[in-house]
Amino acid sequence: MNNKENIINCLDKGFVRLIDHMGDDAAIVQAARVSYGDGTKSVNEDKGLIRYLMRNKHTSPFEMVEFKFHVKLPIFIARQWIRHRTANVNEYSGRYSEMKDEFYVPNIENIKAQSKNNKQGRSNEEFSEDLAQNFLKSLEGNQSFLYNEYRNYLDQNVAREIARINLPLSNYTEWYWKIDLHNLFHFLRLRLDKHAQFEIRVYAEAICELIKPIVPFAYQAFEDYEINSVNLSAEEIRTLKNIIDLNNLDYSNSKLSKRELEELEIKIDKIKKIIE
Ligand SMILES: Cc1cc2nc3c(=O)[nH]c(=O)nc-3n(C[C@H](O)[C@H](O)[C@H](O)COP(=O)(O)OP(=O)(O)OC[C@H]3O[C@@H](n4cnc5c(N)ncnc54)[C@H](O)[C@@H]3O)c2cc1C
């Protein structure tokens, strides 16, 4: 990351740049105190409060923090990204300006076979290098051909808005994207997940690096309670019942706070009812 400019390069020609932000961990705490009173004061208490909010899905204080990014990304990723409706977007206009001669070309190691068990994804198995090379050659040839056609018709005064329609999804676009922290965490939860396409995950990971220094407590809580936690279905819990002896739990080495241990006991009671 270039700290001075808050920019992280993504894929071959893209980037995420943090333009601006409003608020930080303190803004979350400040908003929460409106509902919980003036009780917490020290840094540790602030951290604890943020973690409590995250754990209990008390989400509105996280909406008090906002981030504005400048993103350069291939159109096929923009199509996935734009589905997140709770952000504000302003995109480069291919009607007003010429589309640039910039196309995503994947690294050869990212060209893989169709996954057999995930209909939306790539497999991790070995893949023919010849086939990958052929694919890349064809991709770049088509990108170049289609861009030349586009330019050719622009030169003949065909309107930009119609000349562009055959440009491929690998063409890069740019936008400004503004979102509050609650909805950004939702975006990150979905787009950091291994089910998300590799190319959008690269951007999600870059966003994490940019926001971590601004909201360190909130980000840590997000990692602990969202990214590195699991939801288990009733049947999954029943499947696990022979592995964990719920009647003989030893908390002596636990790093959980007193409050978190109390919350854990409530969860264990719920689990016991499920497996009864
Ligand atoms: C791995 C993966 C695969 C996907 N595959 C497909 C696919 O094959 N086809 C496809 O079409 N999409 C697909 N999507 C997109 C997905 O269905 C969602 O549209 C996208 O992830 C945005 O999620 P969201 O609606 O929760 O987010 P946001 O739009 O940011 O909304 C956040 C939350 O706000 C609330 N909300 C926002 N707008 C409304 C509204 N109008 N009404 C009610 N509640 C609202 C909801 O609670 C929502 O969860 C995929 C997403 C992922 C991560």
Domains of the chain: 7-108+171-227 (3.30.1360.170), 234-275 (no CATH)
Is residue 191 part of the annotated active site? The answer reads yes
CB 118 near ligand 1, within 6 Å: no
For residue 180, the SS3 value is strand
Nearest-atom number in ligand 1 for the CA of 86 is: 30
What's the pLDDT at 126?
A: 83
Check if 196 has its Cβ closer than 6 Å to any atom of ligand 1: yes
Residue-level pLDDT at 4:
60
Q: Is the pLDDT at 205 greater than 80, yes or no?
A: yes
| Secondary-structure percent of the chain, ordered helix, strand, coil, rounded to 5 | 50, 15, 35
Q: Which of 86, 119, 195 to mutate to test the pocket of ligand 1 (most atoms within 8 A of CB)?
A: 86
Return the closest-CA partner of residue 67 out of 15, 6, 22: 22
Q: How far is the CA of 85 from the centre of ligand 1 (A)?
A: 8
Does position 200 have pLDDT exceeding 90, yes or no?
A: yes
pLDDT at 3 over 80: no
Q: What is the pLDDT of residue 41?
A: 65
Q: Which of 81, 180, 190, 227 to mutate to test the pocket of ligand 1 (most atoms within 8 A of CB)?
A: 190
Average pLDDT over residues 166-182: 98
So what's the pLDDT on residue 23? Answer: 97
State pLDDT tens for residues 210-255: 999 999 999 999 999 999 998 899 888 888 887 777 778 888 888 8
Cα separation, 188 vs 201, whole angstroms: 9
pLDDT digits (tens, 9 = 90+) for 24-63: 999 999 999 887 665 556 766 889 999 999 999 999 999 9
State in Å: Cα 84 to ligand 1 middle.
Answer: 6
Task: State which ligand 1 atom lies nearest to the alpha carbon of 85.
Answer: 29
Q: What is the pLDDT of residue 36?
A: 65
Instruction: Give the ligand 1 atom nearest the CA of 87.
Output: 30
* pLDDT, average across residues 141-145: 98
Tokens for 165, please give them. Answer: 């329609």
249 burial (CB, 10 Å; 0-12 / 13-18 / 19+) is exposed
Percent of the chain beyond pLDDT 70?
A: 95
Lowest mean pLDDT among 35-49, 62-76, 189-203: 35-49
Mean pLDDT on 72-84: 98
80-103 core/surface letters (b: 16 or more CB in 10 A; e: else)? bbeebeebeeeeeebeeeebeebb
> Residues 106-133: pLDDT tens digits?
999 999 888 888 878 888 888 889 999 9
Does position 2 have pLDDT exceeding 60, yes or no? no
Instruction: Indicate whether this model's pTM tops 0.85.
Output: yes
The residue from 160, 191, 201, 238 that is catalytic is 191
**Could you tell me if the CB of 85 is within 6 A of ligand 1?**
yes
194 touches ligand 1 (CB under 6 Å) = no
